[in-house]
Structure 1
Amino acid sequence: MEYRTLGRSGVAVSELCLGTMTFGRATEEAEAIRMMHKFFDDGGNFLDTADTYVGGRSEEIVGQAIQGRRKDIVLASKVRMRTSPGVNGVGYSRKHVMDSIDESLKRLKTDYLDLYQLHVWDHLTPIEEVMRTLDDLITQGKVRYIGCSNFLSWQLMKALSVSEREKYAKFISLQPQYSLIHREMDREMMSLIREEGIGFLPWAPLGGGLLTDKYERNERPERGRLAAPKVGEYTWDNKATPDAFRILDEVVAIAEEIHKTPAQVALNWQLGKEEITAPIVGCRTMAQYEENIGAVGWRLSKEHQARLDEVSAIADEYPNRFIERFSRPLTPEEK
């Protein structure tokens, strides 16, 4: 396992982050703890959870697993989603955030979080209030670093600007959806995180399981993450597009050429991108964990990386294509 600094901080995290969203629901406690301990033994030190996962049960299981190892673990959680029925049981009000951090720390059996992340933008609470509250949590020692998740580029930049103006702590990381079949972050966010030195922690790096090549192409699945008829990102209609299967064909072809699994190829493509700090892998079983950990310790060739870059690239769109034209010397024909 290799290690990378998280954004412009000095903290080192493993090149894979173990996500815990299924712990306590699809993954029973004993299996989850065994998986986390195996991850630590394999050199992993980065765990991601949230106060809303399985109604807080995920945090409780993580808290059990890290006992006796806390100082060696970079522990991340998130806040925003509804955690109680009251009118203030959701969002980024100072009240809800202050209440939520204490509840998370109790479930995690720790005095502090290494990384506390805003789960998604809150249109109600002024960002000035949010950043002041997070800065106070750092001052109090309950949080070491702060980050955000599922933000638009203007939202991230506005938060960074408020922190700059008010001398508050700044976000050091962003956690967005990103995979070979979901590269929307390439439109604006990638250039922003490069400019600002923000760590990039992709969730759903395997496209909700589609990039494992376990689903039949023209048949809605009865099992797995994409089987549930629900609203959100993890839906068959959202993932199983013609473009996604065209990308998957290239992943499978490369996997056969180098004797790896499609999941390992899709993850290793992310490990080869300099903007990406640590993809967040969510494993329901130990078998899935063993396959995913097989993505480290090697690198795709430049040819294979380029093939995946090309087949998964998003459309050339305005204003990016216009800006790109003037970011390089113009040819005589263009002048």
Structure 2
Amino acid sequence: MEFRHLGRSGLMVSEISYGNWITHGSQVEEDAAKECVKAALDEGITTFDTADVYAGTKAEEVLGRALKGVRRESLEIFTKVYWPTGPGPNDRGLSRKHITESIHGSLRRLQTDYVDLYQAHRFDHETPLEETLKTFDDLVRQGKVLYVGVSEWNAEQIAAALKIADEMGFDRLVSNQPQYSMLWRVIEAEVVPLCQKEGLGQVVWSPIAQGVLTGKYLPGQPPPAGSRATDPTGGNFISRMLADDVLTRVQELKPIAADLGLTMAQLAVAWVLQNPNVSSAIVGATKPEQVRDNVKAAGVKLDAEVLKKIDDVLDPIVERDPAKTVSPPKRP
């Protein structure tokens, strides 16, 4: 495993991080989840990403139990706040009330005194940005959070947060957690240039495009049983990538991967790691073998010729529109 700084901060994170969206607490049984976490640790992964909303808070509980007994100082634990975790009007968003209550719940479920990175899971159009950033800053000063970041914020929103933090003397954001893959490059035009300039690193999710870039989904055929596409939550995210024109072109990546001695998944993860603004690529797994396969992408260097071949294959189907990075609007 190789390590990178999280943005311009001093925090080092593993190039490959382990995430438990969808899987822990819902798609796989707890014993299997623990085996995946063990495999991640065995392979040198030290960075673990979750969120309060995953599996209705159960994912944090499973991860907390899976990491119990591991030396806390050897881990980087990330979690997030924003989405609803209860029925009340204050059980969501980035208000001082919800952030404060959410971090206490996350710490309890994760069985830890602090998280290394606390992220705003989406932009909250209903809460003043100053309120959110002041609350984050307070949590840092209290030692409950070491670093703060955001997830799926656009460049304008990130810039506004950085301006307020600088003016008010708050802790600055060090990271953004966007979707990013060979097929989904919406951060490249605006978010990445801003983050490179301002010192934020990308902790990217879905580098394998919800499994599409493994090549297991074939044009003209139904998704394999038990795959992400058949999961009620994952299926919503993957459906747009299951068009036959996308799947046909993905199949054309197989000889490129084979020539490099890589699996399709390894090629996909290695590709996002070629971007110098990417600090870590999050992988999920339902089986330990998937973790062991994915980590082999760490340290892989793809030369310009390979990157061009990939672009030549995928360019007509790549999504690049920066406007695709969106957060929910105000409630009516």
TM-score by length of 1: 0.89
Rounded to whole Å, the distance in 1 between the matches of 2:65 and 2:320 is 47
- 1:162 match: 164
Deviation track 1:126-173 (CA, whole Å, cap 9, x = no partner) reads: 101000000000011110000000111111111111111111011100
Letter matched to residue 226 of structure 1: A
Deviation track 1:222-247 (CA, whole Å, cap 9, x = no partner) reads: 632223567985132x1124563354
Q: How much does 1:61 deviate?
A: 1.4
Rounded to whole Å, the distance in 2 between the matches of 1:188 and 1:10 is 25
Quick one: percent identity of the two aligned structures? 38
Describe the SS at the equivalent of 2:79. Answer: strand
- Conserved 8 A contact 1:172-1:199: yes
Q: How much does 1:294 deviate?
A: 2.3
Alignment of 1:1-335 (within 5 A): 1-21=1-21, 22-68=23-69, 69-221=71-223, 223=225, 224-228=227-231, 234-236=237-239, 238-241=240-243, 244-245=246-247, 247-313=249-315
Deviation track 1:60-105 (CA, whole Å, cap 9, x = no partner) reads: 1111122232110000000011111111111111111100100100
Rounded to whole Å, the distance in 1 between the matches of 2:319 and 2:179 is 18
Q: Which has the higher contact order (CA 8 A, sep 6+)?
A: 2
For structure 2, the 5+ residue unaligned runs are 323-332
- Conserved 8 A contact 2:202-2:278: yes
Rounded to whole Å, the distance in 1 between the matches of 2:44 and 2:290 is 17
Q: How much does 1:119 deviate?
A: 0.4
Describe the SS at the equivalent of 1:146. Answer: strand
Rounded to whole Å, the distance in 2 between the matches of 1:243 and 1:191 is 30
Rounded to whole Å, the distance in 2 between the matches of 1:197 and 1:254 is 33
Describe the SS at the equivalent of 1:234. Answer: helix
Rounded to whole Å, the distance in 2 between the matches of 1:229 and 1:38 is 26
Q: CA, structure 1 residues 143+315, in 2 after alignment: closer, same or farther (shift >3 Å)?
A: closer
For structure 1, the 5+ residue unaligned runs are 319-335
Describe the SS at the equivalent of 1:145. Answer: strand
Q: CA, structure 1 residues 225+276, in 2 after alignment: closer, same or farther (shift >3 Å)?
A: same
Q: CA, structure 1 residues 166+232, in 2 after alignment: closer, same or farther (shift >3 Å)?
A: farther
- 1:327 match: none
Rounded to whole Å, the distance in 1 between the matches of 2:306 and 2:5 is 26
RMSD: 2.1
Q: CA, structure 1 residues 259+316, in 2 after alignment: closer, same or farther (shift >3 Å)?
A: closer
Q: How much does 1:309 deviate?
A: 4.0
- Conserved 8 A contact 2:3-2:15: yes
Find runs of 4+ consecutive structure 1 residues off by over 6 angstroms. 229-232, 315-318
Q: CA, structure 1 residues 222+297, in 2 after alignment: closer, same or farther (shift >3 Å)?
A: closer
- Conserved 8 A contact 2:177-2:202: yes
When Rg is computed on C-alpha atoms for both structures, the one with the higher figure is: 1
